[in-house]
Amino acid sequence: MFAPGQEQLSKEEIQAGEAQANQAIRTAIAGGILLYLSPFAIDFVTKFL
């Protein structure tokens, strides 16, 4: 009738998950910044050439 609870994660598994989440967030932020700056970079290159 009642399902057993989930297994507890070890400290190493929690730290690995946090590191992976931090890397994903940093990658998403860097991608957003690059997408925001790309039109300015394209304009600069076309004026430079």
Domain of residue 25, residue span: 16-49
Q: Greater confidence, 2 or 14?
A: 14
47 CB-near residues (< 8 Å, 6+ apart): none
pTM for the whole thing? 0.70
Max CA distance (Å), the chain: 72
Model confidence at 5, in pLDDT bands (50, 70, 90)? confident
- On whether residue 8 sits in a domain, the answer given is no
Q: How far apart are CA 41 and CA 2, in angstroms?
A: 59
Average pLDDT of 17-42?
A: 96
Domain count, the chain: 1
- On whether residue 30 sits in a domain, the answer given is yes
Whether 1 shows a pLDDT value over 60: the answer reads no
pLDDT at residue 30, rounded to an integer: 98
Residue ranges in 1-49 assigned as alpha helix (H): 11-48
Average pLDDT of 8-34?
A: 96
